[in-house]
Amino acid sequence: MRRPKPVIFGLYGWSPDFGFRYIHPANRRAFELLEPVGKLFEKIAEDDEGEWITIRYDEQQFLVRPELFKEIYHKPKFSFGDSVEEVTPAPGEYRHFGLISDVFWDEATDTASFQIVERKRKLPRVFQASELRAD
């Protein structure tokens, strides 16, 4: 039985200033709306010619040029769709339970932070890995 390829995490530091040649025409508008800078992507495929790679952010996939993809070697504690719960809620507050919907990467500290969806509603708060545990 073949082993699945390990997930490759990385940043795609594209902004509109770079122009649109780095983004496949079918994905341009959605990728621009995502505002990709500082968000952690999963690289899930590359074409045989090396012209395009497929990256994923939450439930969206994008075809992009590989030149701007920067691999991150420290795997984040959680990834998209992981079920998590808040470790220590604020006094008088209920503990949050949900699914990871956003993963942000701080290059200065080489750490990830996470946003979760609880009952189909994205919480405005961004959590550090130490504030969450697998549910």
Convert the pLDDT of each residue in 43-71 to its tens digit: 999 888 889 999 999 999 999 999 999 99
Backbone φ and ψ for 27, nearest 5 degrees, come out as -110, 0
Please tell me the distance from the alpha carbon of residue 67 to that of residue 49, in angstroms, as a whole number.
14
* pLDDT number for residue 48: 87
User: How many separate domains does the chain show?
Assistant: 2
Domain boundary residue among 52, 72, 92? 72
Domain co-membership, 68 together with 13? yes
Strand, helix or coil for residue 35: coil
- Specify if 77 maps to a domain: no
Q: Which residues of the chain have pLDDT under 70?
A: 1-5
